[in-house]
Structure formats: structure tokens, C-alpha cells
């Protein structure tokens, strides 16, 4: 029994929105800033569900999983102009591709060291998704693999460990430039001069119309993606359905690349996606059983620790061979592990002015390729 009954789906979703909003508010405080808003939303949802404020399962949560997750992909990819990513940020894009390779190899190594049974392929794919793209890719793989329904406590534990390591990894990346014995092993470049794009002042405004256009675009992409996926299933069998989110990703990228100015004029889609992703995390965490979390967390701490170590070795090891600078590799690794938000922020804080925009672009590139690569990892995982 809970204060909000499970058979009241609107009230259950309202509870998730309250928790998501609280996450945004808490992260603005001095103490709350030590963690991200997503982490606070997760912790609050676990607490609320385990003390009986909100239900641990509800049809309202199923609504979030069914409709929010696919819509998040086009919202995050509305401005993912692949031409700009490849031709204007060449070295940073190469660094990001190395970081993505490091994530895949890290997943293969880490999840081969433990026996997670039937959920091994799903877990490997899910963490590949989040450490190439981010929350939107994580959401897609959790849904695609069925992990959310089969083992909600495992997913909640994975989400908590993911966010824990994200904070620690960001702190480590921020410290790396100060370690001379590491810095001197990489080619030196001056990243203190801002590019024309960083120096240009752009005033953007989010209006009711732009939000409506963004939501309309996202919904149309999902409808077309589901139609194509349905055709693929009819032609190639049920297994083709696992590529649903990859298809949606490709459909979102086409107009973003073909009509960058038009898509660039739509403001608010990314911010709307961030807000909905907080609600998704709250819904995931609400299904967590504290005892189950305690049982799964230790093995996940080990596995994800190994995965990130391998990611770092591959990224920075190959990066040195390709004569990429340490700031370029840090920005790319940051974009892969933490996403398009923290990568430019760290670059700006370090004075790497010409890496601010590339940090955003490769982070968005991660949203574009994360689901596709992670789906392949899940599909072709041995056993």
C-alpha cells in the first residue's frame, strides 16, 4: 500500500513529476550541487517508493516507459548535424570515436569477468549505450532489452552505480591536466583561443510554438520509425524489432543533417528531453527494492569500475598514438561517459575555448550512435 494508490496512474505520474522537479531544485543548492539532479531524482524516488509515498509499480509508470523513451531520441537529436560534426570538429570527433571504441571494449572485458546469467547481454548493451551516448540511449536499451520488466531492482542499482561513477569520473578528468607525468606524454596544442562560433553571441528563445514544433517533430519521427520497424518485422522476423530505436535514431538524424538551419531554429526540444529523462529515471528508481539494491550494487561497482578503466586505457592510449592532445581526449571521454552537457562545461572551466562547441557536437554525436552500437552489442553478445 502507498499514499498514492497504484490504480491511480495520473496521480502516480504526477508523483514522478514532483520528484523530477525536486531534483532540479535540489541541484541548485550548495549541498545538492555535489550530485546531479538526476541522482537526486533517483534517490528521492527510491526513498518515496520504499516508505510508501508512491507505488513501486503502476500503469502510469508503464505510460512513461512506453511513450517517453522513444520521444526522447528525436528531442535530443534535433540539432545533430553530422556534416558539422565530421568536418568542423575532426580531431575531437576522432577522439570521441576512440572513446566509443574504449567503451565497447570495456563492456566486453568487464561483463566477461562475471556471470550475470540471462541479463548479461542486456547489461552489457545498456552500459555501452550510456557510456557512448547518455540517458536517452540508456533509456532505449533498458526498454529494448526487457531489463526493466524482468529485474527492476537490478536496473535501479545499475542506474545508481552509473551516476556514482559518472561523478567520480568527471572529477578524475578534471584532475588529469594537472598531472605533468601524464600531460607530457601527449602532443601539446593551444586550446585557449575561441573559435568564431564560440565568440559569436546567439540569442535563442523558447516559445510555445517552438516547443509545439519540437514535440510534433519527435512524435512524427517515432510514428514513422514504428511503421518501418513493423515492416522489418514482417519481412525479417521478430528479431528485427530490436532495431526499433536504431531506426528512430536514423530518421531523426536525416532532417537534422539535411536541414540544419530549419532544425536549429527550433528551441526547447533538448531542454524538454532533459526534463522528461528525469521523470524516466524517477520511474525506474521507483521500482527498486532496497534489499535488491544492496545485493546487486557490489558486483556492479566492480564491473563498471573495470569497464571505465579499460575505456580510459583505450581512449588515452590510442589517442596518444594518433597525436591527439590531452584536452581533446578529455573532452571526448567526458562527452562519451557524461554527455553533451558536462563536456563543454569542463572545457570552458579549463580555458579550452576552442573545445567548447566540439564538446557539445561530439556529445550529440554520442546520442546518435550510442543506441545503434549498443543494440549491436546486445544482439551479438555470445550466449
DSSP codes, 272-327: HHHHHHHHHHHHHHHT--HHHHHHHHHHHHHHHHHHHHHHHHHHHHHHHHTT-BHH
Query: Closest Cα partner for 375 from 74, 149, 128?
Result: 128
Buried b (16+ CB within 10 A) or exposed e, 312-350: bebbbebbbeeebbbbbbbbbbbbbbbbbbbbbbbbeeb
Query: Closest Cα partner for 24 from 4, 44, 49, 10?
Result: 44
Query: Closest Cα partner for 285 from 23, 9, 5, 71?
Result: 23
How far is the C-alpha of 154 from the C-alpha of 298, rounded, in Å? 11
**φ, ψ (nearest 5 deg) of residue 52:** 90, 20
Q: Is residue 206 part of a domain?
A: no
Q: Note whether 266 and 256 are within 8 A (CB).
A: no
Coil, helix or strand for 187? strand
Q: Structural domain of residue 161, as residue ranges?
A: 9-189+217-379
Q: Is residue 72 part of a domain?
A: yes
How far is the C-alpha of 126 from the C-alpha of 289, rounded, in Å? 20
Q: Is residue 175 part of a domain?
A: yes
Q: Note whether 44 and 19 are within 8 A (CB).
A: yes
The predicted pLDDT at position 178 comes to 83
Q: Is residue 202 part of a domain?
A: no
How far is the C-alpha of 126 from the C-alpha of 141, rounded, in Å? 5
Q: Note whether 358 and 92 are within 8 A (CB).
A: yes
How far is the C-alpha of 372 from the C-alpha of 367, rounded, in Å? 9
Q: Is residue 209 part of a domain?
A: no
pTM for this structure? 0.73
Q: Is residue 197 part of a domain?
A: no
How far is the C-alpha of 150 from the C-alpha of 272, rounded, in Å? 29
How far is the C-alpha of 268 from the C-alpha of 259, rounded, in Å? 18
Q: Note whether 132 and 103 are within 8 A (CB).
A: yes
Other beta carbons within 10 angstroms of residue 152's beta carbon come to: 22
The predicted pLDDT at position 375 comes to 94
Buried b (16+ CB within 10 A) or exposed e, 27-62: beeeebeebbbbbbbbbbbbebbbeebbbbebebbe
Q: Is residue 276 part of a domain?
A: yes
In the DSSP assignment, the letter for residue 146 is T
Q: Which residues of the chain have pLDDT under 70?
A: 35-36, 193-204, 288-293, 341, 383
Q: Which long-range contacts (CB under 8 A, 24 or more apart) does 172-177 make?
A: 173/330, 173/333, 173/334, 173/346, 174/346, 174/349, 174/350, 176/326, 176/330, 177/326, 177/327, 177/330, 177/350
How far is the C-alpha of 292 from the C-alpha of 3, rounded, in Å? 22
The predicted pLDDT at position 202 comes to 46
Q: Is residue 300 part of a domain?
A: yes
Q: How many domains does the chain contain in total?
A: 1
The predicted pLDDT at position 109 comes to 96
Q: Note whether 116 and 123 are within 8 A (CB).
A: yes
Amino acid at each position: 500500500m502507498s499514499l498514492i494508490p497504484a490504480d491511480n496512474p495520473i496521480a502516480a505520474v504526477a508523483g514522478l513529476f514532483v520528484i523530477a522537479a525536486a531534483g532540479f531544485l535540489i541541484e541548485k543548492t550548495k549541498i545538492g550541487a555535489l550530485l546531479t539532479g538526476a541522482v537526486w531524482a533517483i534517490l528521492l524516488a527510491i526513498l518515496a517508493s520504499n516508505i510508501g509515498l508512491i507505488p513501486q509499480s503502476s500503469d502510469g509508470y508503464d505510460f512513461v516507459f512506453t511513450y517517453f523513451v522513444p520521444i526522447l531520441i528525436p528531442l535530443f537529436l534535433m540539432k545533430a548535424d553530422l556534416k558539422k560534426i565530421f568536418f568542423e570538429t575532426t580531431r575531437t570527433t576522432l577522439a570521441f570515436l576512440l572513446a566509443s571504441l574504449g567503451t565497447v571494449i570495456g563492456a566486453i572485458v568487464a561483463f566477461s569477468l562475471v556471470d550475470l546469467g540471462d541479463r548479461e547481454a542486456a547489461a552489457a548493451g545498456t552500459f555501452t549505450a550510456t557510456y557512448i551516448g547518455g540517458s536517452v540511449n540508456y533509456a532505449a536499451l533498458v526498454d529494448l532489452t526487457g531489463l526493466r520488466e524482468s529485474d527492476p531492482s537490478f536496473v535501479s542499482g545499475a542506474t545508481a552505480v552509473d551516476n556514482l561513477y559518472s561523478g567520480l569520473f568527471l572529477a578524475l578528468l578534471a584532475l588529469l591536466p594537472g598531472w605533468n607525468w601524464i600531460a607530457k606524454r601527449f602532443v601539446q596544442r593551444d586550446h585557449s583561443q575561441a573559435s568564431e562560433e564560440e565568440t559569436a553571441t546567439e540569442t535563442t528563445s523558447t516559445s510555445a510554438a517552438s516547443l509545439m514544433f519540437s514535440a510534433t517533430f519527435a512524435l512524427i519521427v517515432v510514428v514513422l520509425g514504428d511503421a518501418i520497424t513493423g515492416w522489418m518485422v514482417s519481412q525479417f522476423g521478430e528479431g528485427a524489432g530490436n532495431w526499433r530505436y536504431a531506426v528512430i535514431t536514423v530518421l531523426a538524424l536525416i532532417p537534422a543533417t539535411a536541414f540544419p538551419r530549419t532544425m536549429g531554429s527550433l528551441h526547447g526540444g533538448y531542454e524538454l528531453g532533459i526534463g522528461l529523462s528525469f521523470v524516466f529515471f524517477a520511474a525506474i528508481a521507483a521500482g527498486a527494492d532496497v534489499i535488491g539494491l544492496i545485493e546487486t550494487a557490489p558486483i556492479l561497482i566492480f564491473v563498471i569500475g573495470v569497464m571505465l578503466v579499460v575505456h580510459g586505457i583505450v581512449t588515452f592510449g590510442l589517442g596518444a598514438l594518433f597525436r591527439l592532445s590531452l584536452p581533446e581526449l578529455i573532452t571526448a571521454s567526458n562527452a562519451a561517459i557524461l554527455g553533451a552537457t558536462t563536456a563543454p562545461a569542463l572545457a570552458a572551466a579549463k580555458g579550452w575555448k576552442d573545445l567548447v562547441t566540439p564538446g557539445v557536437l561530439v556529445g550529440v554525436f554520442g546520442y546518435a550512435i550510442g543506441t545503434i552500437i549498443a543494440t549491436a552489442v546486445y544482439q551479438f553478445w555470445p550466449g
